[in-house]
Structure 1
Amino acid sequence: MNLLTFKGVRASLGQVRVLDGIDIAVKAGEVTALCGPNGAGKSSVIRAAAGLLPVEAGEVRLSDVAIGRLSPRQRAERVAYLPQERRIAWNLPAVEVAALGAPFLSGEAALAKAAASLEAVGAGHLADRGVADMSGGERARVLLARALTTQAPLMLADEPIAGLDPDAQRLVLEQLKARAEAGAGVLVSLHDLTLAAAFADRVIVLDRGRVIADAAPITALAPTVLRQVFGLDARWVEEPDGPLLAARRTQ
């Protein structure tokens, strides 16, 4: 089942067209990775899917309902959103920040679910610490726990591994994969093509607001696409832990 569908979506930021006729779908039980250079439209797709970027043409649907027909509460029940921005305005304890992901539960139930989400992302020991007193990586885990606490059928994650150490990057992607294996749909934007190939079921390559490829990872990130979109001479090497990208910049 498609949890998210874009049909001919166009959108702009100011005078700049950021999405130009986008047709994509995100299915339940799959991790779909958005890949592309800076400015390709990855964050714009995710913001439009969350109802935060108005569309000029086309349609965004959550399950079978146009997003514009859903109230903020209905969107919140269907979508968990992890933004790229990791700033938190108040120095709340981590467990209370994570509990904000479950606004429709009672206080104790929300805190219990938040505590479980913090444990899942390796941040259980941070439950009572103020988020302003944490490192950027620790805060990223807390925000992921908030998104996991939502338990919505669709997860949107915008560059969730940016700035994290390798162990934390894999932990985050493993949690997103686990959500998909439990039946959710996951749409995640990634710059690391090797990790996208290792964790995603499908990769959508964007460039200048358009879909260039939409297929299984190695097919979507074929050498011709890597050369055209990323300016790389590259090939995939099969390793025991998954495909590894061997690449150099084109001259």
Structure 2
Amino acid sequence: MTAALDRVNPVVRLLAALAFAVILVISVDVVSAGTALLLGAVLLTIAGVRPRALGIRIVPLLLAAPLAALTIALYGAPSGAVLAEWGFVHVTAGSLALAAATFLRILAIGVCGVGLLAGIDATRLADGLAQVLHLPSRFVLGALAAFRLFGLLGEDWRALALARRARGVADRGRLRRFAGQAFALLVLSVRRGGVLATAMEARGFGGPGGRTWARPSVLGLPDLVLVVVTAGVLGVAIAAAVALGTWNPGGVAGV
């Protein structure tokens, strides 16, 4: 997605995104989530991530975050001053604080995670998982092959639709046509997976002994820079929350 992040090992980018998710889940408070969101967005922009492209990728989050916040504001644990009450709905100062923290936390995790992971080359990630994290090569290569074939599902679906329409199969009834076509796609996917497994086994994938890799995956200065920046952003977010007294692991912030 960007030249700056492309120089970073995909494994480091994955671990950095996981670090944001883990740290921001520990405490539900506005300060840490807001600080991480602001600093993360600024640094991703400096790294070359285009705000428009990032905004398009996080459209589902922009829809889900307000809905989650609204649900918590109406049905969250009541605490503090009661602002509105009707049946099962209890809007209190505590529920509003929790809703705001949840809203910012979802956006912070999503923006930082999508910004770091978008554009990762699947082959480079597989090389890193096997060589840097030393995951089993059978698992890594199988996952890579499945990921590569996943993009063919859309093409297979369109081809099946055209073929069935040409034969006049299931011209009526959308549910019946969808069910039949979905089953046909499942059968096609299973057959293709079997052929791929046979081909990979014939070429020595998953065989005994050590394995060599055509593309070495190493760590360098860009990886260290990303680790330091991620630690700095999360450290500043935690320090700001602690300084303002909102850091409350496992609790409701601001209550």
| TM-score under structure 1 length normalisation | 0.25
| Higher RCO (CA 8 Å, separation ≥ 6 residues) | 2
> Which protein shows a greater Rg?
2
Using the size of structure 2 for normalisation, the TM-score is: 0.25
Greater per-residue helix proportion: 2
Instruction: Compare the two structures and name the one with the higher strand fraction.
Output: 1
